[in-house]
Structure 1
């Protein structure tokens, strides 16, 4: 099976009021775990990688790994460029076979964000690659980008209309109170803002920073129009914490085929929970 774009996946989710979970993957174990769990639950899924993930794994190697894993499982899978900023880097990865890209110009003023995003859209659409972009900013750390504070953290509904119209993007990531990384306290989401945006923006909406957000809040977002939910930190924590416990329980263990079993099970538990919250099970 070839790698696919996300446009039709998210449009179907928008039509039937569910969300496609997007899990950030980092290694063989996370790729297998996400795909096996999605297959088990008959759920569409997006595998996402930040620039540093592609640098760590190698773009061509990651494309080959995901393509082979999808073919082995008879699945159609979207491999996604998460929070990419450099158009030359995006083009190189598209040429390598990736068909879903998120360009992040959210830290620039609106008109600069529009200009950068439009350039990426023009490039990507020539290759049949769908494009997600972000308006508004999330605090926290995403890859090498650290945002400690912002003057206008939330997405303005009228700016969203202008942004979508002038860029031609396929999906819009909005800022309504979530953050990247771990939360120090339970986030308070601006559901009124989400409702306003969903009324004036016709394309699928995306929620970043979903790790640690209460399940009821994510479910409410999905019912109000969110069609893609990004999860990264919770997977990493589940994997790392379980590995630490396995090594603490048995310091002599040295076979990754053994010590990764429990770590993968811990990730699978998180994946199942998110699929349930997104209501994406049985959608294939």
Structure 2
């Protein structure tokens, strides 16, 4: 298989009633873990780079890692910008070879979010790059983006309809009660709101951010109500760093990074495989 755009995956996800897993790639080991898990499950997958990953590793390194993974993988791979904050950053990712971008104008007034998103769509679509946008703000912190609980607000179904018509986006991230980072309790998702959004924007796949820590039953219900892309990061980070701590506790004199990071990579593979099965995308690689 090879590099594909997000729209091609979401069309099949919509037809089959499943969701594609989108996993953050912060370093070599996590890129490898994501691809190994997707291949083991015969599933399409989204490798996405966040603001923090690009800042940490550099766009050049991240894009080369992700694009090499896509080139050699035996499953369809989307290389995606997660939470792009400006038109200029989107352009840099397009030039780097990303097949999908998210432009996050959710912090802007509605009209300005529409204008920014439409400009990105008009630029990306001619080069066959998909565009995801966000309406409503998702609480918590992801890398350099932070939204206090009191400032987070849910997506309005009527606004969602106007937004997708005005922008023509390929996917819409909605705020229905999830948050980035660790939860202080069990998240309560607003499924009634999700159903109303789906009814208003039929034909536009929906995205659930901040899905780490959301109970499996809630994820399944969200997918049943139109979620077609599910973002996971914190669950993988916890498993990865937890294994590193375990290895170093057992062998405090170990100095070979491969012997520390290798076991962490394998734990991440198992976490990602479990998410792929939960999302219903196992065995779907041949559909793309």
TM-score, length-scaled by structure 2: 0.95
Q: Deviations over 1:136-186 (max 9, x none)?
A: 111111221111134561111110000000011110000110001000000
Q: Partners of 2:68 and 2:188 in 1: how far apart?
A: 41
Instruction: Give the aligned CA root-mean-square deviation in angstroms.
Output: 1.3
Secondary structure of the residue that 2:153 maps to in structure 1?
A: coil
Q: Partners of 2:68 and 2:219 in 1: how far apart?
A: 32
Instruction: Specify the alignment match of 1:257 in structure 2.
Output: 258
Contact kept? 2:23, 2:233, Cα under 8 Å: yes
Q: Partners of 1:205 and 1:21 in 2: how far apart?
A: 13
Q: Deviations over 1:40-70 (max 9, x none)?
A: 1101100111122123222222222222223
Say which is worse superposed, 48-57 or 196-205, in terms of deviation. Answer: 48-57
Q: Partners of 1:232 and 1:219 in 2: how far apart?
A: 18
Secondary structure of the residue that 1:101 maps to in structure 2?
A: strand
Instruction: Specify the alignment match of 1:222 in structure 2.
Output: 223
| 1:86 Cα deviation after fit | 1.2
Contact kept? 1:137, 1:154, Cα under 8 Å: yes
1:108 aligns with 2:91: no
Q: Partners of 2:82 and 2:59 in 1: how far apart?
A: 13
Q: Deviations over 1:184-231 (max 9, x none)?
A: 000110001111111111210000000000011001111111000000
Secondary structure of the residue that 2:11 maps to in structure 1?
A: helix
| 1:17 Cα deviation after fit | 0.3
| 1:237 Cα deviation after fit | 1.1
Q: Partners of 2:16 and 2:228 in 1: how far apart?
A: 10
**Aligned CA distance change for structure 1 residues 74 and 273 (closer, same or farther; 3 Å):** closer
Instruction: Specify the alignment match of 2:281 in structure 1.
Output: 280
Secondary structure of the residue that 2:180 maps to in structure 1?
A: coil
Q: Partners of 2:253 and 2:171 in 1: how far apart?
A: 48
Instruction: Specify the alignment match of 1:269 in structure 2.
Output: 270
Secondary structure of the residue that 1:105 maps to in structure 2?
A: coil
Q: Partners of 2:274 and 2:87 in 1: how far apart?
A: 35
How many residue pairs get aligned? The number is: 284
Contact kept? 1:114, 1:166, Cα under 8 Å: yes
Instruction: Specify the alignment match of 2:61 in structure 1.
Output: 61
Secondary structure of the residue that 1:131 maps to in structure 2?
A: strand
Secondary structure of the residue that 1:185 maps to in structure 2?
A: coil
Secondary structure of the residue that 1:169 maps to in structure 2?
A: coil
Secondary structure of the residue that 2:101 maps to in structure 1?
A: strand
Q: Partners of 2:99 and 2:168 in 1: how far apart?
A: 16
Q: Partners of 1:154 and 1:9 in 2: how far apart?
A: 26
| 1:123 Cα deviation after fit | 1.3
Secondary structure of the residue that 1:43 maps to in structure 2?
A: coil
Q: Deviations over 1:223-243 (max 9, x none)?
A: 111000000111111111110
Contact kept? 1:2, 1:67, Cα under 8 Å: no
| 1:116 Cα deviation after fit | 1.2
Q: Deviations over 1:259-279 (max 9, x none)?
A: 223211221121011111101
Unaligned runs of 5+ in 2: none
Secondary structure of the residue that 2:221 maps to in structure 1?
A: helix
Instruction: Specify the alignment match of 1:190 in structure 2.
Output: 190
Instruction: Specify the alignment match of 2:248 in structure 1.
Output: 247
Contact kept? 2:206, 2:229, Cα under 8 Å: yes
Q: Partners of 1:277 and 1:248 in 2: how far apart?
A: 32
Q: Partners of 1:86 and 1:237 in 2: how far apart?
A: 29
Q: Which runs of 4+ in 1 moved over 6 A?
A: none
Contact kept? 1:155, 1:174, Cα under 8 Å: yes
Instruction: Specify the alignment match of 2:238 in structure 1.
Output: 237
